[in-house]
């Protein structure tokens, strides 16, 4: 991640008064031009990359947060943004920066065709109420150009990026070992996950501030070994919340992921009473959504989420249907999580009128998971998308319309009802609070999260 780019981007798009934007761009180009002229070959390449990124930022969703904030006097016009982007592009042409010009062209094409950006703009216009974020522990900065406004992380995702970027994260491991000599492996894993989250928090912090704390959150998951220990989860959340407050110099733009287990209901009541937001992960069923929505509403946290792990429900239902000899098991299973989402949305947000949480659709398997969650209703729905699923959704033109009210046809519902897993997820009261911990997708997913946590902890120890 280019820290200089992020600093300049924040200064230009979030700290500059709209009336001074054009002058700030002109001044910045002069400074960068002087640096390019006097720099080494490596420095010139870095400066050209910086100009290319700022050129793309200028044409993206980013100006909407501050420079073009609705109702703001003197908002920067689209014509001004286009002119400044052209000036950044022209500077690259003067330098003969062919590689960066090609990257700008590709980025412009992506912005022009992006369905996620169209979805975001329709939400701004009040025509839809669906927002999106990144289901990955790195890469939110460029995704913000298309309107991404939150990040979800979990033990597998944190473990993944430290493997993919050893030069970046191995020094952090050594720093944590040095600064916390008495810490056990689980404490080191929690601190490492916090460091990953903290980087994302800083990137999204301007969005959090510009939106008055409505958007710009990063999800930090507690140690999955504590899934059935309410007090231990709460203590970890309170400890991490305090550390993040110190590092960020104010209320952290973080929500803490706790599992959808029976014990977590007490954890949620305790921490949301302190105004700390949560995200209920390992969420697969109507019963979980209803119970945790009620627990969240008992507190004072302004923002919390109820996860629906679409693919992690659909996959075992597909396997169960296939084992029963259902010929179209794979096609049927694609509708399983959609059916649960629509029923939970109705029970929790239309009939139950929960006010302190929102559904968060995760574990996408394809574009159909995004389309099925789009709503125009007053209660928002959020979607988090893994990098490859983000590109898949933006790869071709799509109709971006609300589908939350579309019924599941009787034939599909009858086929899904052959699955015991589906019936448990879909029917209110089928699992009950006492069944949260033993519901098959919860058990399997918690096991995967724990294995990833242990691998990370072993690397840190």
| Token couple for 214 | 């409505």
How many angstroms separate the CA atoms of 21 and 166, rounded? 38
How many angstroms separate the CA atoms of 171 and 148, rounded? 29
How many angstroms separate the CA atoms of 11 and 389, rounded? 31
CB atoms under 10 Å from CB of 165, counted, come to: 12
Q: CB under 8 Å to 45, separation ≥6 — which residues?
A: none
> Computed from CA positions of residues 265, 270, 271, 274, in that sequence, does the dihedral angle turn out positive or negative?
positive
CB 50 within 8 A of CB 5: yes
> Computed from CA positions of residues 150, 266, 363, 238, in that sequence, does the dihedral angle turn out positive or negative?
positive
| pLDDT on residue 70 | 76
How many angstroms separate the CA atoms of 77 and 232, rounded? 51
| pLDDT on residue 69 | 85
Question: To 10 degrees, the CA torsion angle through 368, 371, 377, 378?
Answer: 90
How many angstroms separate the CA atoms of 307 and 136, rounded? 15
Q: What 3-state DSSP class applies to 413?
A: helix
CB 163 within 8 A of CB 414: no
How many angstroms separate the CA atoms of 277 and 253, rounded? 9
CB 282 within 8 A of CB 257: no
| pLDDT on residue 336 | 98
277-328 pLDDT, tens digit each: 999 999 999 999 999 999 999 999 999 999 999 999 999 999 999 999 999 9
CB 67 within 8 A of CB 21: yes
List, as one string, the DSSP characters of 8-54. HHHIIIIIS-GGGHHHHHHHHHHHHHHHHHHS-HHHHHHHHHHHHHH
CB 185 within 8 A of CB 460: yes
List, as one string, the DSSP characters of 68-116. T-TT-TTPPPHHHHHHHHHHHHHHHHHHT-HHHHHHHHHHHHHHHH-HH
pTM over 0.75: yes
Helix, strand, coil shares of the chain, percent, nearest 5, are 65, 10, 30
List, as one string, the DSSP characters of 129-149. -EEEEE-SSS-HHHHGGGT--
In Å, how far are 117, 178, 213 from 202, measured between CA atoms?
22, 24, 14
320-377 pLDDT, tens digit each: 999 999 999 999 999 999 999 999 999 999 998 899 999 999 999 999 999 999 999 9
User: Which residue is it, tokens 């992690």?
Assistant: 312
Strands 381-385 and 130-134: parallel
User: Which residue is it, tokens 């239309």?
Assistant: 350
How many angstroms separate the CA atoms of 368 and 39, rounded? 49
CB 209 within 8 A of CB 221: no
| pLDDT on residue 1 | 57
CB 348 within 8 A of CB 293: yes
Helix ranges, 334-397 (H): 336-344, 367-373, 387-393
How many angstroms separate the CA atoms of 346 and 351, rounded? 6
Nearest alpha carbon to residue 373 among 352, 396, 397, 393: 393
- Binned average pLDDT, 10 residues per bin, the chain of 461 residues: 91 96 97 96 96 98 94 87 98 97 98 98 97 97 98 97 97 97 96 98 98 97 98 98 98 98 98 98 98 98 98 98 96 97 96 93 97 94 98 97 94 97 98 98 98 98 93
Q: Helix 264-272 and helix 230-248: axis angle, to 10°?
A: 40
């Amino acid at each position: 991640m280019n820290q200089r780019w992020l600093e300049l981007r924040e200064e230009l798009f979030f700290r500059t008064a709209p009336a001074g934007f054009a002058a700030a761009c002109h001044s910045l180009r002069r400074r960068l031009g002087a640096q390019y002229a006097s720099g080494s070959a490596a420095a010139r390449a870095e400066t050209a990359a910086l100009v290319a990124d700022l050129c793309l930022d200028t044409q993206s969703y980013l100006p909407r947060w501050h420079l073009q904030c609705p109702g703001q006097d003197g908002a920067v016009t689209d014509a001004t943004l286009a002119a400044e982007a052209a000036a950044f592009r022209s500077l690259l042409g003067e330098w003969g920066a062919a590689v960066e010009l090609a990257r700008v062209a590709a980025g412009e094409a992506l912005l022009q065709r992006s369905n996620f950006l169209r979805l975001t703009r329709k939400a701004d216009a009040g025509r839809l109420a669906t927002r999106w974020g990144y289901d990955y522990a790195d890469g939110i900065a460029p995704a913000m150009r298309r309107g991404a406004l939150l990040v979800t992380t979990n033990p597998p995702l944190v473990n993944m990026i430290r493997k993919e970027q050893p030069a970046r994260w191995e020094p952090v491991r050594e720093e944590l070992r040095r600064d916390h000599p008495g810490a056990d492996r689980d404490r080191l894993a929690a601190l490492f996950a916090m460091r990953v989250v903290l980087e994302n928090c800083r990137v999204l912090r301007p969005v959090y501030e510009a939106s008055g704390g409505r958007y710009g959150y990063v999800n930090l998951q507690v140690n999955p070994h504590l899934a059935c220990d309410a007090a231990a989860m709460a203590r970890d959340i309170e400890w991490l919340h305090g550390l993040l407050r110190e590092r960020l110099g104010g209320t952290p733009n973080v929500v803490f992921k706790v599992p959808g287990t029976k014990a977590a209901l007490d954890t949620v009541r305790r921490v949301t009473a302190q105004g700390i937001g949560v995200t209920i992960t390992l969420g697969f069923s109507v019963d979980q959504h209803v119970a945790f929505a009620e627990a969240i509403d008992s507190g004072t946290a302004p923002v919390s989420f109820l996860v629906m792990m679409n693919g992690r429900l659909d996959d075992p239902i597909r396997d169960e249907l296939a084992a029963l000899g259902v010929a179209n098991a794979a096609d049927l299973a694609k509708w399983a999580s959609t059916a649960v989402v629509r029923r939970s949305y109705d029970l929790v947000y239309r009939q139950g009128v929960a006010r302190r949480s929102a559904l968060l659709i995760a574990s996408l398997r394809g574009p159909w998971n995004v389309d099925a969650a789009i709503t125009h209703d007053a209660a928002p729905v959020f979607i988090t998308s893994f990098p490859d699923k983000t590109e898949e959704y933006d790869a071709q033109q799509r109709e971006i319309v609300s589908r939350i009210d579309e019924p599941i046809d009787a034939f599909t519902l009858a086929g899904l009802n052959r699955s015991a897993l589906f019936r448990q997820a879909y029917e209110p009261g089928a699992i009950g609070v006492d069944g949260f911990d033993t519901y098959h997708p919860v058990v399997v997913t918690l096991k995967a999260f724990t294995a990833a946590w242990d691998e990370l902890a072993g690397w840190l120890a």
